[in-house]
Chains A and B, each alone.
Chain A
Amino acid sequence: MSAHPPHKPNVLELFLAALGSPFVIVGEQFREIFKVFGLTVQYALHGRRRWKEVWLQAYRIGNESLVFIVCVAGSLGVTLVYQAGLQAERIIGDLTPLGGLYLQILLREFGPTITALMISTRVGTGIAAEIGSMVVTEQVDALQMSGAHPVEYLVVPRFWASVVMVFCLTCVSVLVSWLAGLLTALLAFGVSPYTFATLSFVIPGDVILLLMKTTAYGIAIPIVAGASGLSAHGGSEGVGWATTQSVVNCSLAVLFLDVLLSGFGYLVLLR
């Protein structure tokens, strides 16, 4: 059998290869993610609109993760407020700002980011496994032979659904955490709900930051998960690989965007 290099590597690939194989893999994944991102934007703007499918996917996202999110957001609210209350009692001895500050940190940070991390594990894996198993069973090839583009047909509906649902689920999560916090403050420290329920610390910048974060996460999760699924190869172990890859990459993407947007927020919005 004759041996041949398939193609001449470019400078970037040579550079990554010199750093070691983990960097090559990371480089490949970045390229795949940006490719899927570009195609998704292109097809989301100019492709066929399949709102029924978007609705179906949105329903599935909600259905899959609502209970999970409510449980995690509730327990997070209890533990956060309990700890914060203990510290505040010891250090400043005044619990009146507890509710206001808690709401602020929920809006800025924990609400969107924790919710997005949960959606990454619950929904992102589902997307990667579904698309990955379609790849290894040649359904994606069949889709292409039918005249559809896999990104347009599979990723774009999940993209719209995710953008909407990450926002909605974040609202639910913030509400549940806040209510759990309110109850904790009342039962553990006797803080009256009227004192706890204050908007005095919240500024418009907090809400803008929340919107920016939920939108960014909503865009990132289906694209990163979709890219993992589309790069599955081999048999069922390829699907497993894609699913694991999707959790890791989605979580990293969420945390990376969180740092980026928080930095922007603190520098620009929340001065």
Chain B
Amino acid sequence: MSAASKQVTHVEVPRDGVRIRCQGVSKYYRRTAVLDAVDLEVRDGTMLGLIGPGAAGKSLLVKIICGLVAPDEGHVFIDDIDVTRLRERELQALRMRLGMVFQNYALFDFMNVGENIALPLRMEGRSSETSIRNRVAEVLEQVALPGIQDKMPRELSGGMKKRVSFVRAVVRRPPIVIYDDPTGGLDPVTSAKIFRLLSDMKAQGTTSITISHDLDGIRPLCDQWLLIEHGKTLFSGDTSAIDQCETPYVRQFWRGEPA
């Protein structure tokens, strides 16, 4: 292992407590900025609510944070490691401490549920087959889906897929988790279950970013907020600040008032 990958695998919360930091992140497609100099900071154990209308660049921003997409400008730091400078091997090592729930589930459709959830553990390469099987059964039980290991993703309902996607993201117990629209398209009861899971994760000290349109659902969970539209930051700050923000668009968005 090279010195760099050792640094990447060595987990240590930075001294200033900021685990995720974006500095001037911009991304262009066909010369239009879809992200324009976005800054953000997420402190250890807190949750950032990333909100904004559709096509604002929210999903793109979290993909950049995970190193799945390279930004055209700016830097992303996870635990003070510059993600934009890492080579593929180092990124793989860094991702061991990241989990991501994708907006459209992104379950592997050629694998059954058990294999889907086991893959992150297999890739980590630390656990035996027996302990992997036990862990998969354990996490499925935690989301009230016991015994569905042999089902294929296409046999599941939307809510079940979201929960399977959730457990696949957290099965390695990553300290940092990103939820991209974890309740999109779900009924209120299932949404409430998912928000309960998010709240449990936070209680266990996970640092996270949550993208959601369900403001009532995430309001009690998030400590900080970032509102973007067309890739530009419209608001960044904590809950009391956004409550008092006088910018018309922010007020409208935050209170759900019609324009």
Contacts and interface: CB of A to CB of B under 8 A. Distances in A.
Interface of A: 1-7, 134, 137-139, 141-149
B246 interface: no
B211 interface: no
Given A2-B36, A5-B31, A138-B104, 18 more contacts: A3-B28, A4-B26, A137-B109, A139-B106, A139-B107, A142-B102, A142-B168, A144-B92, A145-B95, A145-B120, A146-B119, A146-B123, A146-B168, A147-B95, A147-B96, A147-B120, A147-B124, A149-B92
B33 A141 contact: no
A138 B119 CA distance: 16
16 contacts: A1-B230, A2-B36, A4-B26, A4-B72, A5-B28, A5-B31, A137-B106, A138-B106, A141-B100, A143-B119, A144-B91, A145-B95, A145-B99, A145-B120, A148-B92, A149-B88
A142 B95 contact: no
Contact of B95 (A6, A7, A134, A144): A144
B18 interface: no
Contacts of A147: 92, 95-96, 120, 123-124
A68 to B, nearest CB: 23
B32 interface: yes
Contacts of B99: 145
Interface of B: 26, 28, 31-33, 36, 63, 66, 68, 72-73, 88, 91-92, 95-96, 98-100, 102-104, 106-109, 119-120, 123-124, 168-169, 230-231
Contacts of B91: 144
Contact of A1 (B36, B107, B123): B36
Nearest to B37: A2
A6 B95 CA distance: 26
A5 B91 CA distance: 26
Contact of A143 (B33, B96, B98, B108): B108
Contacts of A146: 95, 119-120, 123, 168
A6 B100 contact: no
Contacts of A145: 66, 68, 95, 98-100, 120, 169
7 closest pairs, A vs B, by CB? A147-B123, A138-B106, A142-B106, A146-B120, A6-B28, A6-B72, A146-B119
B108 A139 contact: yes
Contacts of A1: 32-33, 36, 230-231
B72 A141 contact: no
Contacts of B26: 4
Contacts of B72: 4, 6-7
Given A137-B104, A145-B66, A2 B123 contact: no
B48 to A, nearest CB: 18
A145 B105 CA distance: 13
Between A7, A138, A142, the greatest number of chain B beta carbons within 10 A of the residue's beta carbon is seen for: A142
B54 to A, nearest CB: 16
B108 A142 contact: yes
Contacts of A134: 108
A145 B32 CA distance: 28
A203 B119 CA distance: 50
B104 A148 contact: no
B31 A4 contact: yes
Contacts of A144: 66, 68, 91-92, 95
B135 to A, nearest CB: 14
Contacts of B95: 144-147
Greatest chain B CB density within 10 A among A3, A4, A145, A149 is at: A145
Contacts of B33: 1-4
A149 B31 CA distance: 29
Nearest to B31: A3
A173 B120 CA distance: 41
A82 to B, nearest CB: 44
A148 B119 contact: yes
Contacts of A4: 26, 28, 31, 33, 72-73
